[in-house]
Structure 1
Amino acid sequence: MANVLIAYFSASGVTKGIAEKIADENGYDIFEIVPEEIYTPADLDWTDKNSRSTKEMNDKSFRPPIAETVDVSGYDTVVIGFPVWWYTAPTIINTFIESVDLKGKTIKLFCTSGGSGIDKCVSDLADAYPELSFAKGMRFTGDVSRAKEWIEG
């Protein structure tokens, strides 16, 4: 199997738990995408038009700064996980994608969501980065038993 990196952003801990399970159960490396300024519960209040997350998601050009990046040169597959925000990937995922060289890599996206699927997230990012190769994504709600087959298949 090719070298795999699980890179993830988690605002509340749900995505972190899924990413850690996938990495631990399959021996993959893991990297947490951490914002320079951690999101507070008020920042994540999607019902508040003035919350940080609402402002970020309404400005598709905004790139929340991340604390650090990672060298992806040794990986063939980079799996990027995130919660779904406003039916798509949070803009911090764009920050990460733009901070690393993913050309020539297989990129697989997974999301955590109570109801939204992954397909719009994948198509939005594929449209934004047509030079990159995005594979079919997955939504996880707890059970990661299909993760290895999806990632390595």
Structure 2
Amino acid sequence: MNKPLVAYFSASGTTAKAAAVLAQATKADIYEIVPETPYTPADLDWTDRSSRTTKEKNDPSFRPAIGSKSLDVSPYDTIYLGFPIWWYTAPSIIKTFLESHDFSGKTIVLFATSGGSGLGSTAKDLQPSCPGATIKSGKLLNGRQTVESATKWLNSFK
């Protein structure tokens, strides 16, 4: 079996912490999805109808550009894909990431961080962006994750 990959987008650092623990638990390579234009606190203000995240939510075709180095996904069979939940689903940049690579035949396991909502229909929302891949709705990795708790969660997939 090929080595797994933990790929994640983190706007405030919370998802980055969960991704680091998960990468350690899986002995996976790790890749940060970095937006070409970083999100500011004003961009993340979901109560502001003119904020960047609100505008992205209101335009389902919008795909923020990725500024991080390119990634060859061919060596990976399993990709753990993490992000904060925005508007009850994944941020638009996750669709950019998925549509920028060929994930055919791969398994993508979602994990997320959230202040109040779950993954809901995120797997279904993302499936059109990665045809041929199997997406599994994972879980929220909020709070203090440990390698032990991440390993226990990972074992639930076996």
Aligned to 2:124: 123
> Across the two proteins, how many residue pairs are aligned to each other?
152
| RMSD (Å), alpha carbons | 1.6
Contact conserved, 2:122 with 2:137, CA < 8 A, in 1? no
After TM superposition, the runs of 4+ consecutive aligned structure 1 residues lying more than 3 A away are: 127-131
Which runs of 5 or more structure 2 residues have no equivalent in the other structure? none
In structure 1, what residue type is equivalent to 2:102? D
After TM superposition, give the deviation of residue 6 of structure 1 in Å.
0.3
Report the counterpart of residue 137 of structure 2 in structure 1.
136
> What does residue 49 of structure 1 align with?
49
Where structure 1 has 5 or more consecutive residues not aligned to the other structure, the ranges are none
Whether 2:67 is the aligned partner of 1:35: answer no
Pairing 1:88-127 to 2, within 5 Å after superposition: 88-127=89-128
* TM-score normalised by structure 1 residue count: 0.91
Cα distance in structure 2, aligned partners of 1:130 and 1:48: 34
Distance of 1:42 and 1:27 partners within structure 2: 36
Partners in 2 of 1:79 and 1:67 — Cα distance? 20
1:130 CA drift (Å): 4.7
Contact 1:119 1:137 in 2 (8 A): no
1:63 maps to what in 2? 63
TM-score (norm 2): 0.89
Shift in Å, 1:51: 0.6
Letter in 2 for 1:25: A
Give SS of 1:137's match.
Answer: strand
